[in-house]
Amino acid sequence: MLVQQNVKKNVKGSVRQANHGKIIKAAVTVFANKGYQGATVQEVAEQAGLPKANVLYYFKSKQGIYEAVLSDILSLWNSSFDHATPEDEPAEALSRYIREKLEISRTNPEASKIFAMEMIKGAEQLSDEIKAGMVSWFDARIAIIRQWIKQGKMADVDPTMLMFQIWATTQHYADFSAQITILKDGKALNKRGFQEVGDYLCQSILSSCGLTPEK
C-alpha cells in the first residue's frame, strides 16, 4: 500500500516535473518571440500541449511563469569563467569565455533574447535577488581581471569595458539574428559560421588586451 502510494507519488511527481519542464520550454519560445506583454498564457499552453488552466495551476500567474523562465535562463549561463582565478592565464580564460558565450548564443538564442528584452525595458521585472547575484558575480570577475593586469599578465584595459565588449559582441549573434539573416541574404549563421566569429572575436579582443589568442 505504502509502496503503491509512493509509486503513485513518484509517477505524479514525474508528471509534474515533466509538465513543469514542458511549460518552461514553451514559455521560453513564446516570450522570446513575442515579449512579455505580447505573450499569452493561451499560447504558452498550446505550445506546451496543455490546457491553459493547467499551466496556471503549475505557475500561479503569467508573471510567475516569466520569473521561472528568467531563473531557468540564468542557470544556463554558467561558464568556466565563473571559476576563473588570478592564477589562470587570461588568454586562455578569456578565449574560452568568449567561445562559451558564443556557444550559448548559438544553442540558446531564445534565452538570450528574453534576457536582452528584460534589460532593454529597464529590468523592472528582474528580482532584486537576481540583480544582487549579477552584481557580485560581476565584481568578482572584474577583481580577477584587475589582478591579471596588476600581475602584468595583460594590458591595462578597463575590465568593465572589456566585459561589456565580450557580452555585446557574443550576444549580438543571438539577439540580432533576424538582422543578420536579413543582411546575409536570408541565410542564418550555421555552426561553422559561429566558429569563425569566435576566431575573429578572440583575435580582436585578446590582441587589444595585449594577449595572443590561442586557437
The one among 12, 18, 78, 167 contacting a copy of itself by CB under 8 A: 167
Q: Is 50 one of the binding residues for DNA (CB under 7 A)?
A: yes
The one among 37, 75, 85, 212 contacting a copy of itself by CB under 8 A: 37
Alpha-carbon torsion (29, 34, 37, 41), positive or negative = negative
Q: Which is nearer to DNA, 50 or 142 (CB)?
A: 50
Instruction: Look up residue 109 and give its amino acid.
Output: P
Question: How many CB atoms neighbour CB 149 within 10 A?
Answer: 18
Alpha-carbon torsion (144, 148, 154, 156), positive or negative = positive
Contact window for DNA (CB under 7 A) among 13-21, 106-114, 136-144, 206-214: 13-21
Question: How many CB atoms neighbour CB 120 within 10 A?
Answer: 10
Q: Is 184 one of the binding residues for a copy of itself (CB under 8 A)?
A: yes
Q: Which is nearer to a copy of itself, 23 or 39 (CB)?
A: 39
The one among 131, 143, 150, 214 contacting a copy of itself by CB under 8 A: 131
What is the Cα–Cα distance from 178 to 152, expressed in whole angstroms?
41
How many chain residues interact with a copy of itself (CB under 8 A)?
A: 48
- For 132, residues 6+ apart whose C-beta sits below 8 A from its C-beta are none
The one among 6, 10, 33, 63 contacting DNA by CB under 7 A: 63
Q: Which of 130, 57, 141 is nearest to 93 (CA)?
A: 141
Question: Which chain residues interact with DNA by CB under 7 A?
Answer: 8, 12, 15-16, 19, 39-42, 50-54, 56-58, 60-63
